[in-house]
Structure 1
């Protein structure tokens, strides 16, 4: 792992979950952190943690859906530390439930946060990297950028768009060999994001199967600084989704849809909520969302994991049969 003493790291969505875990991880390696999110009071708590871990940190309250605010974020980093070495576009939100059950404003905000927020961040930092001649841009995407997630249509649209956007930008920077553009695709991660997102399904959303710690993603970010890669999965379900959808998109879509519909039929009732999509909330400020602690209380949440495994098997079988028939 690299010694990042003095490296300037900007992290959006830094108030909880993966962003907060990443701030801690970089602080432990001596980095100077620029922390961005909507909740200034929570960011100040994160900044204190970073200082306790050995790093320095400044707080820049930022709504990534505001392009001017993101530009000011980059300027604040330069004013404080003289440059930017690493920029992590991590802010994200989602809407779970049938597409027509949610207000269109919610879907629009998901696109504005996940896709446009990352585009604004990229627009703010790339000129800095180009002037410096170096820098690492990390876009935190999702397994939803490799395979469509039923009942999360706007989220899927934003993540598919993010993957294409990241790949396009990477190719535009071929003349800058010391500027690296990395995409990270985590599987299901135990963060407060499930309570932050909107849930219009009327059912409890309790992901099951293999759930990863936010620290796993944070350490992936650290690893990419030392050894940049174009695309990196965190967890086998993310890689399984990539393989399955690449080799057998039809069966993968079908199995994912079957799994989610079955889950919704069997899940406990819940109140519909818009979460923090439209406005921030004091809830959900920790690194962990408690999913791993609650895991195993019900077998209903395992359907999605089974669907991914089945889809991967179908994709592999399809590929093998295709190769045999071509011979």
Structure 2
């Protein structure tokens, strides 16, 4: 898909991955349609995109509302005539033991992280079928591949996003549609304001599990996969190695992930009162944040050469073991 002069819709565009993705597409000469709940943050971003020479449209949208997403699609087509790329990026989350997490919070996460993708996919694919081409990109997560404790709503929603992608690709293939592509992108931990505003019922403060990747790294991957679509994309050396290992040793990797989540995601030394975070409201003054306050200053720079070598060595070991098992 050619990026220059293409029309790109991005949900969850006000911060983090969405913001970085919008700026990347704008720099490439795309026409960007920016969606989130925070109108002020969107207007600021739209101005940034225009300064990069792009046409930009801000549309306040709650992706959990199907009528709002329909209006988003209509605005994009009404202003630019078509939709070439749609990025379902909007997401939220809640931390807490399953039985201690309010049911309405679980429902809200599913409404945004899963049904928001469903709403976007329906609008995007209908328009793309009329055009005969397009790329739909759904942002999932490593938590959808290797689910974590204390994030049941988020993990199951992201797993469902991956399953949706498989189903949609199958339907397009059976319908002999060759020029419409559905891509699932699964990042690891990303240095965004997500953890600054997440709902939390664990009684402890939350942090991302290092290493954290920069939003721009994920954005670059999204732009590249829009240009050259593929089925699924896991971003980052360590996430890729974990996925490979999980295929061979699922129980061991899931146990390790549970331990890492308990030890690294939660800070027992920093008690935290129950909070609904930004489930029912926009993040406000921090919505335009490029990165998070809770990443310990990593800023996505934790991928040192030592880690790279460790991951490469681990991946090589996994590959060698897989080859050995295949020969048996």
Counterpart check, 1:260 vs 2:271: no
**Residues 148 and 253 in structure 1, CA contact (< 8 A), matched pair in contact too:** yes
Counterpart check, 1:149 vs 2:148: yes
**Residues 3 and 227 in structure 2, CA contact (< 8 A), matched pair in contact too:** no
**Residues 206 and 267 in structure 2, CA contact (< 8 A), matched pair in contact too:** no
**Matched residue, 2:43:** 44
**Matched residue, 2:303:** none
Residue correspondence of structure 1 range 17-28 to structure 2 within 5 A:
17-28=16-27
C-alpha distance in structure 2 between counterparts of 1:287 and 1:163, whole Å: 26
User: Which structure 2 segments of 5+ residues have no match?
Assistant: 300-306
Per-residue displacement from partner, 1:29-53 (whole Å, max 9, x unpaired)?
1111111101111100010000011
**Matched residue, 2:126:** 127
SS state at 2:34 partner = strand
**Matched residue, 1:184:** 185
**Residues 146 and 241 in structure 1, CA contact (< 8 A), matched pair in contact too:** no
Taking a change above 3 Å as real, the CA distance of residues 252 and 80 of structure 1, as seen in their structure-2 partners, is same
The Cα of 1:278 is off from its aligned counterpart by 1.8
**Residues 63 and 69 in structure 1, CA contact (< 8 A), matched pair in contact too:** yes
SS state at 1:167 partner = helix
SS state at 1:88 partner = strand
Taking a change above 3 Å as real, the CA distance of residues 184 and 267 of structure 1, as seen in their structure-2 partners, is farther
**Matched residue, 1:161:** 160
Taking a change above 3 Å as real, the CA distance of residues 98 and 321 of structure 1, as seen in their structure-2 partners, is farther
Of 285, 288, 307, which residue of structure 1 is paired with 2:291?
A: 288
**Matched residue, 2:195:** 194
Per-residue displacement from partner, 1:220-264 (whole Å, max 9, x unpaired)?
111012211111111123213322322222122222222333344
SS state at 1:189 partner = coil
Give the number of equivalent residue pairs. 312
C-alpha distance in structure 2 between counterparts of 1:32 and 1:260, whole Å: 39
Taking a change above 3 Å as real, the CA distance of residues 276 and 292 of structure 1, as seen in their structure-2 partners, is closer
Per-residue displacement from partner, 1:107-147 (whole Å, max 9, x unpaired)?
11111101110000010111111111110100011111211
**Matched residue, 1:240:** 241
Report the RMSD for the aligned CA atoms in angstroms.
2.5
**Residues 207 and 295 in structure 2, CA contact (< 8 A), matched pair in contact too:** no
**Matched residue, 1:85:** 84
**Residues 137 and 226 in structure 2, CA contact (< 8 A), matched pair in contact too:** no
C-alpha distance in structure 1 between counterparts of 2:16 and 2:267, whole Å: 29
**Matched residue, 2:213:** 212
